[in-house]
Amino acid sequence: MVDSRWTADPAPSASPRRRGAVLERAILDAALEQLSTVGWNGLTMEGVAAGAQTGKAAVYRRWPSKEDLVADALEAGLPSIQEVPDHGSVREDLLGLCRLVRDAMYSRPGFALRSVLHECDTSTAERFNSVILDGLVHPTVRLIGEVIRRGITRGEVRAGADDAYVRDVIPAMMMYRSKVCASEWSDLDLEQMIDRVMVPLLRTPGE
């Protein structure tokens, strides 16, 4: 019988060295985590490397600056909003879309994006305009137009309501409340915005 006191524990298996897309994903995730915890001003390339359990050189080889790294992390992480279910009602469709946008804004990447916008100076924030526009604003505006056109087809929205100014109302209000007022959007807030602003805006005058 073998005395267990003298039995050697099995050697821990070495973790495989990460390369390519796997390592890049770990670095991007670490950048989002840093933004969510210490914000833009507290984020460092060293801290990201430590969070990703890699060397600082591996980060700098791929992203020469903090701005480049954060832009890619936000772009890769933001939830993609591709479609809005058709509930048969413009009000319900717009509410559904607003909830999707709110969820994106309050996801970890969305929180990180808001951290960047609140803390960056104007010139630095401009670096992230395309991330905001392409990742959140443009898809939202496109889907608002789709919802409005469905409503026109059903006869519940006035002809000509599919207008650039009308499509901008929801993202403008949501970004203003989030960035300038630093307030969250409850379900009640979303319902009141749709009922008090969007529904009257889409109706034929006199209805």
The CATH number covering residue 58 comes to: 1.10.10.60
Give the pLDDT of residue 1. Answer: 43
The count of structural domains within the chain is 2
In a domain, 105, yes or no: yes
**Closest to 81 (Cα-Cα) out of 28, 128, 137:** 137
- Last-in-domain residue among 55, 77, 99: 77
In a domain, 2, yes or no: no
Are 145 and 99 in contact, with CB atoms under 8 Å apart? no
Q: What does the alpha-carbon distance between residue 201 and residue 122 come to, in Å, rounded to a whole number? A: 33
pLDDT band per the 50, 70, 90 thresholds, residue 183:
low
Q: Are residues 160 and 184 in the same domain?
A: yes
pLDDT at residue 23 is higher than 80: yes
Q: Are residues 29 and 112 in the same domain?
A: no
Token pair 């060295």 in the structure block, residue: 17
Q: Are residues 59 and 111 in the same domain?
A: no
Q: Are residues 44 and 130 in the same domain?
A: no
Q: Are residues 68 and 96 in the same domain?
A: no
Domain range for 68 = 20-77
pTM, whole model, 2 decimals? 0.76
Query: Across 19-28, 98-107, 159-168, which has the greatest mean pLDDT?
Result: 159-168
Are 115 and 40 in contact, with CB atoms under 8 Å apart? yes
